[in-house]
Amino acid sequence: GNSVTQMEGPVTLSEEAFLTINCTYTATGYPSLFWYVQYPGEGLQLLLKATKADDKGSNKGFEATYRKETTSFHLEKGSVQVSDSAVYFCAPPLIMDTGRRALTFGSGTRLQVQP
Amino acid sequence: SAVISQKPSRDICQRGTSLTIQCQVDSQVTMMFWYRQQPGQSLTLIATANQGSEATYESGFVIDKFPISRPNLTFSTLTVSNMSPEDSSIYLCSVRPSGSTDTQYFGPGTRLTVL
């Protein structure tokens, strides 16, 4: 099955700093890859996704590139804001059997952005 | 995308009792999932709920403890039975709309505290 390893947190940055959260995965085949975000007190939201190798997903200034050769999907943002403070989850789908899939999640990385 | 609601949003329950959580989706979906997020942890898949057939449980989760119903394509329930304080978690419903390949959307969660 698939698995994911995500950078440990918490990550504390000052506003306008550059952000990288590392995510590497093992997978059978080339599944779609996802980043989800959970803001304080809220549910899980899809942040971005990439469906094939070399694809770049982007949303709200965040980007992640599907790197087949390094099996990575690192999340980046050039200039973080206080409002980006949240927990970020990397997720490849778990291939169970007969094509059934459900997302599995990394451990989550808590980002704290200070003014 | 899909709009998902859950009831209740939170509850405080006594040890030994049971709680049923409802999940309603605004469109028909084939695949529905239930996850658990223990305090400060990542999400763990409990089971896949399929309309017209029994739910499929992941390792460590059993039907007697977490019975699931899926009477139609827009609704599911998860019951947490004979609760203990270790069951205190956020329980999340998730769906994968038809044709979305692997993208899943999540409900706001039900925050359960067991005393």
Least Cα distance to B47 among A92, A87, A100 occurs for A100
Read off the pLDDT of residues B89-113 as tens digits, 9 standing for 90 and up. Answer: 999 999 998 777 788 999 999 999 9
pLDDT band of residue A105 (cuts 50, 70, 90) is confident
Least Cα distance to B109 among B31, B8, B1 occurs for B8
Read off the pLDDT of residues B64-75 as tens digits, 9 standing for 90 and up. Answer: 999 999 999 999
Q: Which of B31, B45, B92 sits opposite A44 (nearest CB)?
A: B92
The contact set of B with A (CB < 8 A) is 31, 33, 41-43, 45, 48, 56, 92, 94, 96, 101-109
C-alpha distances (whole Å) from A77 to each of A60, A95, B83, B90 are: 9, 30, 42, 29
CA distance A40 to A85: 8
Residue B98 or residue A63, greater confidence: A63
Read off the pLDDT of residues B79-92 as tens digits, 9 standing for 90 and up. Answer: 999 999 999 999 99
